[in-house]
A and B are shown apart, each in its own frame.
Chain A
Amino acid sequence: MANNTTAYAGTSGVAKFDVGGSATVIASVISFTLTNTGDVIETSSMGATARTFVPGLTNATTSLSLYFVDGDSAQAALQSAPGAAAATIELYPSGTSTGQKLSGEMIVTSFEVSAANDGAVTAEVAGQITGALTVANL
């Protein structure tokens, strides 16, 4: 459709996770983060006066904060995912019709449920993207 030409709020954000082969909207997402970093490899040698580097491997990690909804299939799939094979994660910062779709195969490294008597029960999800991260325009 179209990319955003101005800054926008995250209120329309959507996150989806693989449930049996179909990308399914994760309920009650509070926030998500996707970090893509690139290693640098030093190539400075004797005689150099300034360090030199070449680009190395890239690495992407994700994290999601959720209100815990134990009746949601996507959250159930995430909860069951630590220790399992990678599954597709799709992140839409400005919704599924505009902006970008960030996707990749994610190994869920942790799913943490927190409950307190003065707040909603929440879940924190952390994941490691294996392979390339895909950024597509909607």
Chain B
Amino acid sequence: MLRQMYDIDGNSHLVPNTQVQDKLKSGWVFFQKPVSSPKQEESKNIIKTKTKRPKARMRITKAEAEVIKPNEENN
């Protein structure tokens, strides 16, 4: 009898019964390992920096400021 086995690299072979245990000891397996896509490793060198947004500033002229100020006082 011949048994389908897979070597360490996943290649399929038909192995005579008398050699099955020796192949198992060499790391061969009966069943093909499921193919899984390699996980993309996140680069550890990425430097994450927080960017501060500049505070919103209202640009007004001095004259405009003087107009606003009395209004605030009235309120």
Q: Which residues of A contact B (CB under 8 A)?
A: 18-21, 71, 73, 76-77, 79-85, 87
Contact = CB atoms under 8 A, between A and B. Distances in A.
Given A76-B3, A80-B3, A85 B30 contact: no
A20 B17 contact: no
Given A20-B25, A21-B24, A81 B17 contact: yes
Nearest to B18: A84
A120 to B, nearest CB: 21
A83 B18 contact: yes
A82 B21 CA distance: 12
A87 to B, nearest CB: 6
B17 A73 contact: no
A104 B31 CA distance: 27
Given A20-B25, A73-B31, A77-B24, 19 more contacts: A18-B21, A19-B24, A20-B21, A21-B25, A71-B31, A73-B30, A77-B20, A80-B1, A80-B3, A80-B15, A80-B17, A80-B20, A81-B17, A82-B17, A83-B1, A83-B17, A84-B17, A84-B20, A85-B21
8 contacts: A19-B24, A21-B24, A73-B31, A76-B3, A76-B31, A80-B15, A80-B20, A82-B17
B41 to A, nearest CB: 31
Nearest to A19: B24
